[in-house]
Amino acid sequence: MGKFQLITKGLIKENPTFVLLLGMCPTLATTTSAINGMSMGLATLFVLVLSNMAISLIAPYIPDKVRIPSYIVVIATFVTLLQFVMQAYVPDIYETLGLFIPLIVVNCIVLGRAEAFANKNGVVDSALDGIGIGLGFTLSLTVLGLVREILGSGSMFGWKFIEGDGILAFVLAPGAFLALGYLIVIFRKLTTK
Amino acid sequence: MEYILIIISAIFVNNILLSQFLGVCPFLGVSNKLSTATGMSMAVCFVITLATVVTFLLNSLLAKFGLEFLQTISFILVIAALVQMVEIVLKKISPALYASLGIFLPLITTNCAVLGVALTVVQKSSPFASAADGMFNLGEATIYAFATSLGFGLAMVLFAGLREQLALNEVPKAFKGIPIALVTASILAMAFMGFSGLV
């Protein structure tokens, strides 16, 4: 597989949200607006790239039996690092995303890539894989956030294009499930000809 | 009275699955059959309550030394160890319960509901406060965790029942599997929205 394909496969063929259906909790919870979705995606991208690189480096030295707990500790370390960075530079976004930043630790995408890719491949490939999957995640969260923001509050990336309120249900819980369900259907229709 | 408010609010008003989106992976993953959904809910109930008590105590220890930034790392390790321990103890003490929960226990480590509840409780608690100030003490934290996991079980069992019925119906090809489940979950979430403002 070429280096370029490593990055692009996460966008469509192995899109973590629409195809692999991983990491559903942050996907549903943080996409109340496009900006929030994008921030969550980028935060996950950060952890994913760093943990993929670290794990590909240390994987040969970890006994097979304790590999999962070891990976979780590595991931949790980078998540704590991310918490510090976000608290320092983007405190507003850190407040909005709240609980879901520490919960990146248990995001199945991160552990899944460590187990399925990073522990068998080199540092560069693992970093590219992290970037690819992370970008795919960011893209789908932004799209879902955008759809919910347009329908729910009548704005795009914070820019309001209609007067008054939108359909409130799309900002609340039911709209998250509904919008994601229909987006997966549209994605399937577009990708399978 | 406060206990009852905590319980109603955790089960119905702020249902962990349908309004807080914690633990959605098992919600979509193992809700195909009613029996597996019940097993999963019981295992989660057990682990959430136990994990919350342990992490609550651990947090007061961390706070004593000013090490709160280690919360994420230490909690996930404690939860992983706890799940392992519960598995070993159950195997010895109650093989029947172990057989019914067995396969679900290892899955729970990466269930974000457990870490989510532990972190929520710790964020709004102190060992000596009471629910009146919006803070939990140990007893209230335990009740909250238990009620939250009951809410998880309720949503899970309802959803599994719906999906069992759904399997008998014909749906368009593109909707098969997860999408139609998500649309169903959306309607269920709308029903639970009816409880908002109750407490």
**Which of B76, B109, B189 minimises the CB distance to A174?**
B189
CB distance A80–B76 less than 8 Å? no
Q: Is the pLDDT of residue B134 over 60?
A: no
Query: When comparing pLDDT for B107 and A156, which is higher?
Result: A156
Residue ranges of B 72-131 with Cβ closer than 8 A to chain A: 72-73, 76-77, 80, 109-112, 115-116, 119-120, 123
Contacts of B76 in chain A (CB under 8 A): 72, 76, 105-106
Query: When comparing pLDDT for A90 and B88, which is higher?
Result: A90
Q: What is the pLDDT of residue B1?
A: 65
Tell me which amino acid residue B42 is: M
A2 CB neighbour count, 10 Å cutoff: 7
**Which of B22, B76, B185 minimises the CB distance to A105?**
B76
Mean pLDDT of B82-107: 78
Q: B149-160 as b/e, with b when 16 or more CB fall inside 10 Å?
A: bbbbbbbbbbbb
Distance (Å) from the C-alpha of residue B36 to the closest C-alpha of chain A? 20
For chain A, where are the E strands, in sequence order? 155-156, 159-160
- Touching check for B187 and chain A: CB below 8 Å? yes
Query: When comparing pLDDT for B5 and A143, which is higher?
Result: A143
- Touching check for A181 and chain B: CB below 8 Å? yes
Q: What is the pLDDT of residue A1?
A: 59
Q: What is the pLDDT of residue A130?
A: 92
CB distance B180–A175 less than 8 Å? no
The DSSP code for A98 is: G
In angstroms, the first-to-last Cα distance of chain B is 12
Lowest mean pLDDT among A103-112, B76-85, B105-114, B189-198: B105-114
Contacts of B115 in chain A (CB under 8 A): 102-103, 105-106
- Touching check for A111 and chain B: CB below 8 Å? yes
Give this prediction's pTM. 0.87
Residue A132 gets the label, from left (phi > 0), alpha (psi -120 to 50) or beta, of: alpha
Contact call for residues A18 and A140 (beta carbons, < 8 A) = yes
Contact call for residues A79 and B75 (beta carbons, < 8 A) = no
Contacts of B122 in chain A (CB under 8 A): none
The CA-atom distances, in angstroms, between A165 and each of A40, A59, A145, A152, A155 are: 25, 51, 17, 8, 10
Residue ranges of B 29-68 with Cβ closer than 8 A to chain A: none
- Touching check for A102 and chain B: CB below 8 Å? yes
Residues 6+ apart with CB under 8 A from A34: A142, A145, A146, A149, A156, A157
- Touching check for A19 and chain B: CB below 8 Å? no
CB distance B186–A178 less than 8 Å? yes
CB distance B110–A176 less than 8 Å? no
Q: pLDDT averaged over chain B? A: 83
Query: When comparing pLDDT for B152 and B40, which is higher?
Result: B152
pLDDT tens digit sequence for B37-86? 888 888 888 889 999 999 988 888 888 888 888 888 898 888 888 888 88
Q: Is the pLDDT of residue B125 over 80?
A: no
**Which of A72, A108, A169 minimises the CB distance to B76?**
A72
Contact call for residues B192 and B18 (beta carbons, < 8 A) = yes
- How many beta-carbon pairs below 8 A join chains A and B? 115
- Helix then strand count (H, E) for chain A reads 8, 2
**Which of A77, A102, A184 minimises the CB distance to B119?**
A102
Q: What is the pLDDT of residue B132?
A: 47
**Which of B115, B123, B193 minimises the CB distance to A174?**
B193
d(CA A169, CA B9): 20
pLDDT along chain A (193 residues), means of 10: 78 84 86 91 94 92 86 92 93 89 88 87 91 93 93 84 81 90 91 76
Q: What is the pLDDT of residue B71?
A: 86
The DSSP code for A66 is: G
- Touching check for A97 and chain B: CB below 8 Å? no
Mean pLDDT of B151-178: 89
Contacts of A108 in chain B (CB under 8 A): 25, 110
With CA atoms as reference, the chain B residue closest to A27 would be: B21
Query: When comparing pLDDT for B104 and A41, which is higher?
Result: A41
HEC letters along chain B: CHHHHHHHHHHHHCCCCCCCCCCHHHHHHCCCCHHHHHHHHHHHHHHHHHHHHHHHHHHHHHHHCCCHHHHHHHHHHHHHHHHHHHHHHHHHHCHHHHHHHHHHHHHHCCCHHHHHHHHHHHHCECCCCCHHHCCECHHHHHHHHHHHHHHHHHHHHHHHHHHHHHCCCCCCHHHCCHHHHHHHHHHHHHHHHCCCCCC
Task: Name the residue among A97, A142, A24 with its Cα closest to residue B25.
Answer: A24
Query: When comparing pLDDT for A20 and B135, which is higher?
Result: A20
